Amino acid sequence: RTVHTTSLGNSILTRLKSSNLYDDIKKELFVSKSELKSLCDYYFDGKGKAFRPTIVVLMARACNSHSNRDGDLLPGQRSIAMISEMIHTASLVHDDVIDGSDKRRGKTTINEVWGERKVSQSRCPIHAKLLNCNMCNNVTTINEVWGERKAILAGDFILSAASMALARIGNNTVVSVLSQVMEDLVRGEFMQLGSKQNESERFKHYLEKTFKKTASLIANSCKAVSILVNSDPEVHEIAFQYGRNIGIAFQLVDDVLDFTACASQLGKPSATDLKLGLATGPVLFACQQFPELHGMIMRRFSSSGDVARAWQYVQESNGVDQTNYLAQHYCQEAVRQISLLRPSPERDALIRLTQTVLTRDR
């Protein structure tokens, strides 16, 4: 079979960004002009990778072609592309609070940002309790930290807007498929707070966590767009398995980049996982070569010098290569699954996307 060589994935991405995906998201986040609106809109500036909506649109078109329709998106499928980006962003807003992170997509995170706010009120916030402050002419700009509490509420608000858009699609199965994602995100994040004593259990725990925190959103969004066009459960399973496998590979590469890329490249802090107490793929593989890591993993790198020593062990081991190798294995499985659909330019773009996941550097 020939694989189309045009860069369809890239052109879908460009179209998504220049079309009105982000404008549509902002419309969903309808709140009259207020601070909450600025917070919620903050990351929908078209600067993200839009990885999830790109996969969702390609999968929708691949499933439409497979089902003998033209490739064009159904309205519900486009909504799912938008909803996947909203759920993802809401989870990142919360994640940055949990991780105490100060950079995301090259910007200061909501939990850390200093915002400017025009205040027009009878009680001047700067010159204290003066009513009708003549020093500020009753309208003033104050700097204030958005901070953690507002970040949590903004994440909740984005999630509620995503849920409304989901309900409007009017398909109960799709509602339940994407509600599963929200459960998985929370469970995945919760699993990350614990460590397993036994080494083989630890790896299983890591992969299950990786599915829940990252791959479930991609897998279930792919499944949802397939449900909207085809009633065959085998097609739903192919879509789900492609998303599951490419999603796990995506997170494995993310875990590698935490060790190999710099912050300016990533637009977020690097070398953070160990500091957060997390043992990801590279450390788990390194532990097979350097059993000294076991104790550090169990105490979540909390003793003085643990982070630096663990970092060194990872550099001396082949943990990074093995994690990349595992990501390749998941991508091969994603390709095997999607190849079960009838050929179409979109199916071939999904095949090529697996290479992009493996070679990305940000």
Residue 185 binds: one of ligand FPP, Mg ion, none (C-beta under 5 to 8 A by kind)? ligand FPP
Q: Which H, E and C letters describe the chain, residue by residue?
A: CCCCCCCHHHHHHHHHHHCCHHHHHHHHCCCCCCHHHHHHHCCCCCCCCCHHHHHHHHHHHHHHHHCCCCCCCCHHHHHHHHHHHHHHHHHHHHHHHHHCCCEECCEECCCCCEEEEEEECCECCCCCCCECCCCCCCEEEEEEECHHHHHHHHHHHHHHHHHHHHHHHCCHHHHHHHHHHHHHHHHHHHHCCCCCCCHHHHHHHHHHHHHHHHHHHHHHHHHHHHHCCCCCHHHHHHHHHHHHHHHHHHHHHHHHHHHHCCHHHHCCCCCCCCCCCCCCHHHHHHHHHCCCHHHHHHCCCCCCCHHHHHHHHHHHCCHHHHHHHHHHHHHHHHHHHHCCCCCCHHHHHHHHHHHHHHHCCC
Beta bridge partners, 254, equal none
Contact range with ligand FPP by CB under 6 A, out of 36-44, 58-66, 85-93, 290-298: 85-93
Of 135 and 193, nearer to ligand FPP (C-beta) is 193
Nearer to ligand FPP, 91 or 226 (CB): 91
Question: Smallest gap, in angstroms, from Cβ of residue 329 to Mg ion?
Answer: 24
By CB under 6 A, name the one of 31, 36, 98, 153 that touches ligand FPP.
98
The dihedral region occupied by 195, where left means phi > 0, alpha psi between -120 and 50, and beta the remainder, is beta
Residue selected from 21, 87, 256, 297 as contacting ligand FPP according to rule CB under 6 A: 87
* Nearest partner of 101 among 327, 246, 270, 340, judged by Cα: 270
Q: Does 268 bind ligand FPP (CB under 6 A)?
A: yes
| Contact string (CB under 6 A) for ligand FPP, positions 177-196, x = contact | -----x--xx--x-------
Residue 237 interacting entry, from Mg ion, ligand FPP, none, C-beta within 5 to 8 Å by type: none
Smaller CB separation from ligand FPP, 35 or 189: 189
At its nearest, how many Å lie between Mg ion and the CB of residue 114?
Answer: 21
Minimum Å distance from CB 278 to ligand FPP? 7
Q: Is residue 154 close enough to count as binding ligand FPP by CB under 6 A?
A: no
Q: Which residue among 214, 216, 220, 245 contacts ligand FPP (CB under 6 A)? A: 214
Tell me which residues in 8-67 interact with ligand FPP (CB under 6 A): none
C-beta of 95 vs 199, nearer to Mg ion? 95
CB 267 within 8 A of CB 106: yes
Tell me which residues touch Mg ion (CB under 5 A): 95, 99
- Among Mg ion, ligand FPP, none, the one that 155 touches (CB under a kind-dependent 5 to 8 A) is ligand FPP
Give min distance, CB of 182 to ligand FPP, in A: 5
State yes or no: residue 95 binds ligand FPP (CB under 6 A). Answer: yes
Q: Choose from Mg ion, ligand FPP, none: what does 76 bind? Cβ within 5-8 Å by kind.
A: none
Minimum Å gap between C-beta 76 and ligand FPP is: 21
166 near ligand FPP, rule: CB under 6 A: no
- Which residues of this chain interact with ligand FPP, rule CB under 6 A? 87, 90-91, 94-95, 98-99, 101, 155, 159, 182, 185-186, 189, 213-214, 268
